[in-house]
Amino acid sequence: MSAELFLMMRFEILLIATALILLICSLIFRGDRRAKIIPIAITLFFINVIVGFLPIETGEMFGGMFRTSALNIFFKNILNAGVFIIFLQSAGWLGKNHNEFHYPAEYFLIIISSLVGMDFMISSGDFLMLFLGLELATIPIAALVASDIHKNKSAEGGVKLILSAALSSGILLFGISILYATTGTVYFNEIFKLVEYDKLQILSFIFIFTGIAFKISIVPFHLWTADVYEGAPVNITSYLSVISKASAVLILMIILYRVFGQIVYIWSAVIYVTAILTMTIGNLFAIRQKNLKRYLAFSSIAQAGFILLGVICGTAVGLSSVIYFLLIYIFSNLGAFGVVAIVSNATGKEEMDDYNGFYKTNPKLSFAMMLSLFSLAGIPPVAGFFGKFFLFTAAAKQGYYLLVFIAVVNATISLYYYLLIVKAMFINENENPIEKINSDFYAKAGLVLCVIGIIFIGFFGAIFDYINSISLTL
Amino acid sequence: MLESYIPIIIILIISVLFAVVNVNLSSLLGPSRPNKEKLSTYESGIEPVGTAHERFSVKFYMVAVLFILFDIEVVFLYPWAVSFIGLDQLKMMYSFISVSVFIIILLVGYIYVIRKGALNWD
């Protein structure tokens, strides 16, 4: 094997190199100079994002364990951009002097290593690589969830995450072992030919689906979500709800299409039921939430239900509409979390009532928040509308009219609670609203990126065309 | 497909039988004359002190985790060292560089561990 072949792993190698440089920097900048690592990390990661767009060879290596395709690369770029925005948003939180979390270098290191795991997971061509990547993606995050060491809720969230991750990994591994027992191979391409209407294989599908459903927090495997999201620091919550969820959705599609592609009849029934449950329960619980982090947690569960609408299609159009929706979802959810992070960082307030009269003191922040919420709800001018529209049309094309009807009803319900916050910010009166917040440069840059994404992705039809053209390379 | 797992089941049965039969045979056939010293906890010849239900310092876990990490490194190095001799000039260089990268990554981690004081006992 020649050395050029390793260039296919460019994303992973670059990320590991970045992590190594940061590790060395953390040894140089110690004590009070710790905060100097933040600009270095952000610059390095920015270079990563830029280099990611350079062309890259597609193909297989290690006997098919690792594969790159146009879609994988595009998705890795999306994840890179999302993590970059999260880094921008967390700079202010990490830079504060009297912060509970004193380890900025370790924060970047842990997130980067988790991202490496996701990249490997996305590129995997067999179940062993997939499992390895999944573990590397999940376990480091538990450390960050528990990093708010003076809060009991943070520790509780960390323990809950690691327990549910361990349980789901166990279930997933059991499914993989059953599949291996019936087919005698772990490679996706070979399993694809051997899967048929065999009872043991259907059982293994159910186990594997359950394991991944935990990561996407599909109802009824969502119970850990709200507590973990509430306990974790805001930036980690946004990482969990955006990056982690998006990569898990892609993995679900890879497994459904490339491994269980022969038993569409079975898995579309499973997804049909879980999609309805996820949308409805996520929406109904979101209405009752008062804490913004819990609220966004349930809203992200409901969004996962909408995503399943595209997954169920099993067609190229469905696939590309899911990727497109995920792209928009990353920007809109990061926008909402960005505002919550800025406010929580400056004042420590995370309740919905605290946002009453927010527009009077912070017009720009409340405008960004409004745009993100509109995009999440799917109100026409912003990108979120196009994302939902393509998902619904893809499902309707396959004849899932009842499902699309329920989804539309749910979208209307979600409109109510998304507008509740908009109402609180713009209409509700408050005697002592949150005072004017002067956010740092990085947080502003992150929000601007999100707003640009929300406004413009919807209008550039070329993006959807591009995704559509590469969607068959899954 | 499932028939190929029969040897594994046979091995399982044999190993369980082997353990159960041997342990029971030795207790059935051997003489049993217990006294106080024989029944007390085995502590390498030293008299046992207190119970084992205590809180352990987290440092033990740190050392254990670090040990596993660098132990795995050695595990990877053995097969490399064995297969290194048979290679030709170019492949030797190639494999030497790749293992150097692997060791450098772990070395940086090791320096990090020492500088952060993870091995300081006090």
Q: How many Cβ pairs within 8 Å bridge chains A and B?
A: 21
CA-based end-to-end distance of chain B? 58
ipTM surpasses cut 0.90 = no
Model confidence at A108: pLDDT above 70: yes
Q: Confirm if A380 and A295 have CB atoms less than 8 A apart.
A: no
Chain A nearest-CA distance from B34, in A, is 44
d(CA A299, CA A377): 9
- How does residue A358 score in pLDDT terms, banded at 50, 70 and 90? confident
DSSP H helices, A146-263, are: 152-183, 188-194, 199-216, 225-231, 234-238, 245-258
Chain A nearest-CA distance from B52, in A, is 25
- How does residue A56 score in pLDDT terms, banded at 50, 70 and 90? confident
If we measure between CA atoms, which residue out of A292, A328, A325, A304 comes closest to residue A420? A292
In this complex, which of A23, A182, A184 lies closest to B112 when CB atoms are compared?
Answer: A23
User: Which residues contact residue A98 at a Cβ distance below 8 angstroms, ignoring those fewer than 6 apart?
Assistant: none
Model confidence at A295: pLDDT above 70: yes
In this complex, which of A20, A181, A184 lies closest to B105 when CB atoms are compared?
Answer: A20
Structure tokens at A86: 């999260």
- How big, in percent rounded to 5, are the helix, strand and coil portions of chain A? 80, 0, 20
The pLDDT, as a whole number, for residue A473 is: 76
The pLDDT, as a whole number, for residue A148 is: 80
Residue A181 and residue B111: Cβ atoms within 8 Å? no
Model confidence at B63: pLDDT above 70: yes
If we measure between CA atoms, which residue out of A123, A128, A236 comes closest to residue A177? A128
The pLDDT, as a whole number, for residue A1 is: 53
- How does residue A136 score in pLDDT terms, banded at 50, 70 and 90? very high
- How does residue A2 score in pLDDT terms, banded at 50, 70 and 90? low
d(CA A250, CA A252): 5
Q: Confirm if A133 and A118 have CB atoms less than 8 A apart.
A: yes
For residues A98-126, give the mean pLDDT.
86
User: Which residues contact residue A357 at a Cβ distance below 8 angstroms, ignoring those fewer than 6 apart?
Assistant: A425, A428, A429, A430, A433
| Closest CA in chain B for residue A183 | B1
Side-chain-facing half-sphere of A279: CA atoms under 13 Å: 24
For residues A218-247, give the mean pLDDT.
90
Q: Confirm if A460 and A390 have CB atoms less than 8 A apart.
A: no
For residues A63-80, give the mean pLDDT.
90
| Closest CA in chain B for residue A182 | B1
Helix/strand/coil for B116: coil
User: Which residues contact residue A169 at a Cβ distance below 8 angstroms, ignoring those fewer than 6 apart?
Assistant: A131, A134, A135, A138, A211
Model confidence at A243: pLDDT above 60: yes
| Closest CA in chain B for residue A31 | B116
Structure tokens at B52: 């084992």
Q: Contacts of residue B2 in chain A, CB cutoff 8 Å?
A: 181-182
What are the pLDDT digits (tens) for A323-337?
999 999 999 999 999
Q: Contacts of residue A24 in chain B, CB cutoff 8 Å?
A: 108
**A156-165 b/e with 16+ CB inside 10 Å = b?**
bbbbbbbebb
d(CA A284, CA A273): 17
Q: Give this prediction's pTM.
A: 0.89
In whole numbers, what is the pLDDT of chain A averaged over residues? Answer: 88
